[in-house]
Amino acid sequence: MSRLLLIVAMWVSTAHAATVVPVTMQPLLGKLRKGITNDIATIAEPIEKALFAIGFSQCSEVKKLLGVDYATFNRMDPDLNSLSLVFTTRSVDIKYKLRDAARLIPQSEWFDPTKPLKIYLHGFFDDPSQDAFTKLSKAFLDAGDVNVLALDASSLLGWRYLRATTMVQFIGEQLGKLLASLVKAGLRRSNIHLIGHSLGSHISGFAGKTFKTLIKHRVGRITGLDPAGPCFSDVNVTLRLNKKDARFVDVIHTDAGVYGIAERVGHVDYFPNGGSKQPSCPPTHLLDSCSHSRAWLLFAESVTNPDAFVGVACPDWAAFQNQQCNYSDLSPMGLASRPGTRGTYYLSTAEESPYGLSEDGIRFVKSEGVFRFFTDIFSMFTGQR
């Protein structure tokens, strides 16, 4: 099987490079490329998940040995002065140092505590100048008049992943203190919506925990966009995002078991396309964040099109594939996810933007593999199936 795939892949590559493929063959050639990609993904995915599980199974012990665990950093009183917030409305973009934000934001003429507050928290090797926040903030401001904040923690979440997984707790605690001060300045806690991608999901969780300790109530909502899995899988729930961190916690899984967490961590967890390998992404996840990034792309689309994604209650991906779901229990994924929703939902999406299939997404569409290509070749020459 693997040798056959390699031979065919080489032929496809050569044919493509020579650009002499007959027009009548081009649709089939496209199907072949897609089929090879799907078959490679099917083979590689369980291997990658096993490697990630083994590689990060001893995170806590390794961090202690390297001196990058929470207890060690806490004794050192880590420097968080580089943390900043980008405050965005329809008319202004203002940057605050996090340490000054509690004092300056309530005094700002641009801040309206009666409006919903959306706070985006980026992940590893990211910052608010990148596509995730620019697309999300534009979507929110196009959809309604809201306050939009983004935490810039890039100075602490870059390069060294093990260190970054520890820093999320310190960052979340500082953010939780800011939110508590904003509530005291008039912001309704029910209007607070934290939206975190990857490591940012767990920052959201620690912010929610700290807020609850200070205010004795929970923030309104946390949305986890493919919460980071390495070093956060199979740990005590107090050490990661969990459903107790907000009144409503909804989670979208798009790279579960590799860069994202596979566990159910919210009140409601959505698993588009099974929650792992996403359509049109490269067949392997290693050193590629396509599937991991798909979570924020889906969420951004849901802001401007609330009906784009509809999930169906299902016990697991196999049940979804075999149409063994509760089709009377549907739930929108993304911004339109309804507080009070509980359980696990699955859905299919399109391969390219716009990704939403609305209610058509509650049915599984099997990805074509390389053997389907040879079936089509046989059909073309014989007229038979």
Handedness of CA 39, 314, 297, 197 (dihedral sign): negative
Q: What is the pLDDT of residue 108?
A: 87
C-alpha span between 34 and 141 (Å, rounded):
37
18, pLDDT greater than 60: no
- Which residues, other chains included, contact 297 with Cβ-Cβ below 8 Å and sequence gap of 6+? 135, 353, 355
The reported pLDDT for the residue numbered 274 is 97
Domains and CATH numbers, the chain: 50-370 (3.40.50.1820)
> Does residue 12 have a pLDDT over 80?
no
Chain segment 220-234, per-residue pLDDT in tens: 999 999 999 999 999
**Owner of token pair 């390794």:** 62
d(CA 306, CA 119): 19
Q: What is the pLDDT of residue 140?
A: 95
pLDDT tens, position by position, 229-256: 999 999 999 999 999 999 999 999 999 9
What is the mean predicted confidence (pLDDT) over 323-341? 98
Q: What is the pLDDT confidence band of residue 38, given thresholds at 50, 70 and 90?
A: low
pLDDT-based confidence at residue 310 (cuts at 50, 70, 90): very high
Mean pLDDT in residue range 315-331: 97
Between 6 and 286, whose confidence is greater? 286
What is the distance between the alpha carbons of residues 141 and 134, in angstroms, rounded to a whole number? 11
Catalytic residues: 198, 226, 292
Task: Answer with the residue of higher pLDDT: 1 or 284.
Answer: 284
**Those residues with Cβ within 8 angstroms of residue 206's Cβ, 6 or more apart along the chain or in another chain:** 168, 169, 171, 172, 173, 175, 176
Flag the least confident range among 236-240, 324-328, 363-367: 363-367
141: pLDDT strictly greater than 80 = yes
Find the mean pLDDT for residues 262-281. 96
Least Cα distance to 199 among 155, 242, 232 occurs for 232
pLDDT digits (tens, 9 = 90+) for 84-94: 999 988 888 89
Q: Residue 95 pLDDT > 50, yes or no?
A: yes
State the DSSP code for 256.
B
Using an 8 Å Cβ cutoff, are 373 and 296 in contact? no
Q: What is the rounded average pLDDT for all residues in the chain? A: 86
Q: Which of 23-27, 47-51, 60-64, 342-346 has the lowest mean pLDDT?
A: 23-27
